Amino acid sequence: MLTKDEVIELLNPVEDPFLHRTFEELESVKSVTIKEDKNHVSVKAGIAQTNTGEQMQLQQEIVGILKKNGAATVGLRFEKLPDEVIQKYQPAVDEDKEASLMGGATGTKFLTIASGKGGVGKSTVTVNLAVALRRLGYKVGVIDADIYGFSVPDMMGIENRPVVRGKKIIPVERFGVKVVSMGFFVEDNAPIIWRGPMLGKMLNSFFSEVEWGDLDYLLLDLPPGTGDIAMDVHELLPNSKEIIVTTPHPSAAFVAARAGQMAMKTEHEILGIIENMAYFKSETTGQKEYVFGQGGGEKLAEVLQSKVLGQLPLQQPYEDEDDFAPSIYQEDHPTGKEYHKIAAKVVAKMEEE
């Protein structure tokens, strides 16, 4: 069982990611509470900047230190250090000459993937479209902006976590695609209980504090519906095209129309509709069975004055023990070939601008 003094001693060498001074120098540890019956350690710490990617990295570091030394569970709260402390230790700021993704100066094209409701395969479409674009030779990144329902790391079989280099978060790369997700910064798949403003700041850091490098396309997997987070993403982007994912069922298409209307109201052009789970093709008879009905994609495209980019079947990727990624379709897979066609259409439409 750790004592309060032992916790402070363990955390004293930890460095503030912005001031590059130790917790001991900054007197960062504000309080420590020990619940002996549950072997739970709670810490309140002061840092120079809160609600950033660096804070999430620091949280992982602190939790790791305390668990390694005997704590069963760890609770953390961060607050901003006093201004006089920050001013005293603030390093000289270099001008950031790197072109900003947010400023639209890099030539990166933004593509948001949205849906009216959950469960229609929006994230599956996002990761496979990203991989298909990469297979076409483009440099691609993915932001898993579905903060409450992040699933991209699991879908792509990602086990590594980002690291911080200097002032930048280095995204994880899988299948040649660079990925950042809230899932990387949450301990043991814990639920997200942050309020909207904090989530908005985290999303902003995914744009401004991640070292994306030279990207051709940055895809964003939006939360389903038209909530605050989806609206924040629309407002953050300098410009974007949007793909709406639906199933053939009329009710899915009906609610998806709301997401499309929001995109148009925020002056983000709808690039097209992808109808997922469009049919099941029987291996025995070769016949297509329309398990969820027909016509939802076409009806949605008509309402939004757009076009259907592709219709994807109900089908699993091939099993691959050597390259585990449960939702990524192989290049020679029938559905993988469909994604290839959709990616080619996306490129053609994006290049029209």
Residue 255 confidence (pLDDT): 67
Say how far apart CA 301 and CA 298 lie, in whole Å: 5
Q: Are domains 4-89 and 109-351 of this chain identical in fold? A: no
Residue 97: predicted pLDDT: 37
- The pTM (predicted TM-score) of the whole model is 0.69
> What is the pLDDT, as a whole number, of residue 30?
94
Task: Residue 336: name the closest of 114, 135, 156 by CA.
Answer: 135
- pLDDT given for residue 297 in this prediction: 87
* pLDDT class of 190 with cuts at 50, 70, 90: low
Per-domain residue ranges for the chain?
4-89, 109-351
Among 144, 102, 120, smallest CA distance to 256 is for 120
Q: What is the pLDDT of residue 232?
A: 63
Mean pLDDT for 183-208 is: 63
Q: Is 63 helix (H, G, I), strand (E, B) or coil?
A: helix
CB neighbour list of residue 277: distance below 8 Å, 6 or more residues apart: 120, 121, 247, 248, 291, 292, 312, 313, 314
Q: Which CATH architecture has domain 4-89?
A: 2-Layer Sandwich (3.30)
- Reply yes or no on whether the pLDDT at 216 is more than 70: yes
Residue in the block written with tokens 């925020």: 266
CATH number listed for the domain at residues 109-351: 3.40.50.300
pLDDT value of residue 215: 92
Q: Distance (Å, rounded) from C-alpha 157 to C-alpha 183?
A: 12
Asked if residue 173 has pLDDT above 60, the reply is yes
pLDDT single digits (tens) 7-39: 999 999 999 988 889 999 999 999 999 998 888
Return d(Cα 143, Cα 33) in angstroms, integer: 36
* Mean pLDDT to the nearest integer, 325-333: 93
Q: Which tens digits make up the pLDDT trace of 116-146?
A: 777 889 999 999 999 999 999 999 999 988 7
